[in-house]
Amino acid sequence: MASDFSALVEDVITCPICQKHFDQPTMLPCKHTFCYRCIQNMVTGNDGVLKCPQRDGTELKKDKIDTLPLNEIVRDLVHMLDHSDSSPSVCYRCETDIAEYWCESDCKHSFCSKCWDTIHELGQYRNHTQLPIREKPPDVARCQEHEQGDDTLKYWCEQCTKQVCNNCQQIKHKDHPFILVTDFMDALQEECEDGLQGVQSCLTYRSNRVEKMVTEIEEEKKSNKSKVVVAMDSFRKIIDEQEKALLENIDNTEREEIKSIEEYKRQLQGEHQNLIEEVLNFVVVCTDKEPKKQFDAKSSFDDYIKRTKTKLLELKPKTRNGNHIPGLQKLQQIEQQIRSINMEKVPKHENRELQDAITKNGNNSTLNLQSIQLTDKDMEIVANLLENNRGIRVENRKITFVMEAPPRPPYDNLQLRKRITDNGNNAVLRLGGSNLTDRDMEIVADVLKTNTNL
C-alpha cells in the first residue's frame, strides 16, 4: 500500500511532458501544471500559441506565458521530497568525519570507520554490535514521569489519545484499550493513504474516460468528414455548398460536445488540485512523525475525503452517443437528396424487454437477466445502469446480475473465497501475490458489489 501511495505522490510531482520532477511548475488557467521550460517549448513548436496538452480547450498566446502563476504547492512538495534526506551524521568521537557505523551495544553512538576501529579493537568493546549508519534505529520518545525501567513511549492509549510508556499503561491506563505506537501510526497513515488513493483513482478513471471521449469525437469527426468528401466527389458541381454546410455542422457539433467535456474536465482538474493540496498536507504531517499531530490531522483528511466523495457522486461520469451522417450511400441514386443530408445523433439503442425488466425490478437488490437474450448494445445499457448505481452506495443499494450459462459449470476459487471469508469486516482485502485470473476478478467484483465497506 505504501508503494501505491508513493506512486501517487510521484505522479503528482512529475511533469507529464518531460516526465521529470517539476522545474518551476507553472499553472495554466485550466489548472494543469507543467514545467515552465516545457511550456516555452510547446509555444515555440506551435506558432506562438499554447494549447493545453490535456486537450481541455485552453489556449494561450506567447506574450501571456510570463503572467502564468507558479504552482507553489507543487513546488513545495517537489522540494520537500527531493530534499527529504537529512544531513549526514557526524562521528561522535572526532566530531569531524562523517559517521559510517552505529554501535547498537553500550556505546549507542555513531562513529566514522577510523574511530570505530580505534575504540572497538580493545577488550569488551570488540563484541559490540556494529550497524551501518543507515540502519541506526530512530530516536524513541521517553516518558517524562518514569525515568527507570522501560520508559519508552511505545504504546498509544486509544481512550486518552496519547502516547504512554509501559509503566503508565499498566498503572494509569491499565483498563484503557491500547496498541503499539508503530501499529497505530501505520494504521493511521494507511487509512489516510487509502482515502487519498481512492479519490485519485476516481479522478483518474473519469479523466481517462472523458479523454477517450475526446479522441472518439475527433476520430468521428475525421471519419465523417472523409465520408462526406468521398461521397460528394462524383457530384462536385452540385454538392459544394452542401458539403460546406455539413462540415460546419460537424465542426459545430464537435465544438459543442468538446465544450461540454472541457467544462467537465475543468471541474475534475479542480478536484485534482484539491487532492494535491491534501497530499502536501499529508506529507507534511507524516514528516513530523508526531502521532498526536497525525491523529488531530486525520479528521481533516476524513472531512476532505468525505466531502470529495460527495462531490464526485454529484459529478457523474459523462456519457454520449456518437454522431453520424445517414444518407451518404444514397447519393449515387438520388442526386436531389444531397441537400437534405445533415448530421444527426446516432439513434439510442433500445431493448424494450430489457428496459421493462429494469423498470419492474424497482429497488430489488437482484436483477435477473437469465431469460433475456442480450447483444453487445444491450450490455451497454446494463453497463450504464451499473455506472449510474455507483452513486447509490450511500443508500446501501446493492445490485447483483444473475446470468447463467447452463452448459458450463459455475467457476469458483475456494482458496480466494476463504481469504475473503477470513478477512471478515476489515475494510481492506489484500490480494497481493494471489495470481488472480479474469474469472477470479469476477468473484472479487461480486464481493465489491455486495460489501460497500470494502
The pLDDT value recorded for residue 383 is 67
410 torsion bin: left (phi>0), alpha (psi -120 to 50), beta (else): beta
DSSP 3-state assignment of 307?
Answer: helix
The pLDDT value recorded for residue 221 is 93
DSSP 3-state assignment of 108?
Answer: coil
Domains of the chain: 2-82 (3.30.40.10), 101-179 (3.30.160.60), 180-346 (no CATH)
d(CA 393, CA 139) in angstroms, rounded, equals 44
211 and 55 Cβ atoms separated by less than 8 Å: yes
Q: Which H helix or E strand runs over 131?
A: strand 130-132
Q: What's the whole-model pTM score?
A: 0.45
- Residue 264 sits at the vertex; the CA angle it makes with 258 and 267, to the nearest 5 degrees, is 145
Residue type, 86: S
d(CA 41, CA 23) in angstroms, rounded, equals 14
The pLDDT value recorded for residue 407 is 41
The pLDDT value recorded for residue 392 is 29
Written as nine digits, the cell of 293 is 499531530
Residues of the chain scoring pLDDT < 50: 1, 390-408
The pLDDT value recorded for residue 400 is 44
d(CA 88, CA 351) in angstroms, rounded, equals 70
12 and 74 Cβ atoms separated by less than 8 Å: yes
Cα distances (angstroms) measured from residue 441 to each of 204, 401, 411, 422, 434: 21, 15, 11, 18, 11
The pLDDT value recorded for residue 339 is 65
The pLDDT value recorded for residue 409 is 52
136 torsion bin: left (phi>0), alpha (psi -120 to 50), beta (else): beta
pLDDT tens track for 73-117: 888 888 887 765 556 788 999 988 999 999 988 888 899 999 999
The pLDDT value recorded for residue 411 is 64
The pLDDT value recorded for residue 412 is 72
